[in-house]
Amino acid sequence: MEELFKRLKNRDDDAFREIIELLSRQLFLIAKTRIKDDSLADDAVQEAFISLYLNLDKIKESSKLKSWITKTVINKCNDIMRKNRIYSFNSNYDTLENCFHDSNEYDNLNRSIDISNAIELLNVEDRTIIVMFYSKDYSLKEIAKILNLNENTVKTKISRIKMKIKKFLEEEK
């Protein structure tokens, strides 16, 4: 792997093809467990390899390559899932009102939409943290490792993010 990494750092196209062949199946399986859709999982892996090619200078050691590309795939999956959810919601918007006849359910839907809007207003890091923690069930330790943050920092950020969302919801009333 060390020799392959050196060739990769020298922008050897054959080395890049070898890395793709070596890691693409494993990365696809990681993406597939997160996204559940073959086409979107492929997209996440392809985007991660593009990101690798563009950011190769940021990876200093061959031992960091696999973890870097894995984190990138996970982040690309998160991006795709967020975008897909927005698209999915928008495509069904016309029928949403017809789906809920009970006012309580309709109120719950409005609350859910308000929370989604509040999350979209957060900066990228805050949005990533809160989605990973609540929607994707990452532990504080996992989030800290993936985002290269201290575990206590993540805990503090989650608390502050929740306050931001609560403030937004109160202003919307």
CA atoms within 13 A on the CB side of 26: 10
pLDDT surpassing 60 at residue 12 = yes
- Read off the pLDDT of residues 119-142 as tens digits, 9 standing for 90 and up: 778 887 888 788 778 766 678 988
The residue with greater pLDDT, 114 or 43, is 43
Determine the Cα angle at 153 with ends 57 and 140, to 5°: 90
pLDDT surpassing 90 at residue 47 = yes
Residues 6+ apart with CB under 8 A from 119: 127, 130, 131, 165
Class of domain 1-91: mainly alpha
Residues of the chain with CATH 1.10.1740.10: 1-91
Q: For the residues 76-86, what does the mean pLDDT come to? A: 78
pLDDT surpassing 70 at residue 103 = no
Q: For the residues 97-118, what does the mean pLDDT come to? A: 53
Task: Record the pTM.
Answer: 0.50
Q: Please give the Cα distance from 126 to 131 (Å, whole number).
A: 8
pLDDT surpassing 90 at residue 21 = yes
| Percentage of the chain exceeding pLDDT 70 | 80
What rounded mean pLDDT belongs to the chain? 78
Which of 51, 47, 66 lies closest to 4 in space, CA to CA?
66
- Read off the pLDDT of residues 50-66 as tens digits, 9 standing for 90 and up: 999 999 988 888 888 88
The residue with greater pLDDT, 12 or 110, is 12
Integer angstrom CA distances of residue 10 from 54, 60, 121, 160: 13, 13, 40, 43
Determine the Cα angle at 120 with ends 119 and 126, to 5°: 60
Residues of the chain with CATH 1.10.10.10: 98-173
Q: How far does CA 115 lie from the centroid of its chain?
A: 18
Q: Which CATH architecture has domain 98-173?
A: Orthogonal Bundle (1.10)
Q: Look-up: residue for tokens 């061959």?
A: 62
pLDDT for 150 equals: 94
pLDDT for 45 equals: 95
